[in-house]
């Protein structure tokens, strides 16, 4: 029997952080917000810090020298494209293999 994951009210930790930034229009260094804007999110401190760290590492959230944060739409789109390319290989490779096998069976046998 598998464990059921508890969902945060309103979505995943990452979506909660991103929505908090978008809600405050924190989308550039000029409109970046301090860390305290996340205090009301229904997340434990360690979950919040881990999530923000991951989002920074992926380029979705940017930390300014003043320790403020903002959402980077281009970073999100770049990550989205990385996933699309990665998952498309799950379809392209098997289809290419099937076509090669089909062609080999038609022309070699």
| Whether 26 contacts 71, CB under 8 Å | yes
Check residue 11 and give its pLDDT: 66
Average pLDDT value for residue range 29-33: 97
DSSP 41: S
Q: Specify if 93 maps to a domain.
A: yes
Q: Specify if 64 maps to a domain.
A: yes
Query: CA distances (Å), 17 to each of 10, 57, 59, 103, in order?
Result: 11, 14, 14, 50
Residue 41, domain CATH:
1.10.10.10
Number of domains in the chain: 2
Residues 84 and 49 in one domain: no
Residues 51 and 94 in one domain: no
Global confidence as pTM: 0.66
Its domain, for residue 44, covers 9-71
Q: What is the mean pLDDT of the chain?
A: 85
- 27 pLDDT more than 50: yes
CA angle 6, 11, 14 (to 5 degrees): 105
């Amino acid at each position: 029997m598998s464990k059921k994951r508890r969902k945060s009210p309103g979505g995943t930790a990452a979506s909660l952080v991103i929505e908090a930034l978008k809600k405050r229009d924190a989308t550039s260094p000029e409109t970046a917000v301090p860390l305290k804007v996340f205090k009301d999110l229904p997340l434990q401190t360690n979950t919040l810090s881990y999530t923000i760290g991951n989002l920074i590492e992926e380029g979705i959230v940017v930390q300014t020298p003043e320790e403020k944060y903002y959402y980077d739409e281009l970073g999100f789109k770049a990550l989205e494209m990385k996933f699309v390319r990665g998952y498309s290989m799950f379809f392209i490779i098997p289809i290419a293999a099937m076509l090669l096998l089909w062609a080999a069976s038609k022309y070699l046998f």
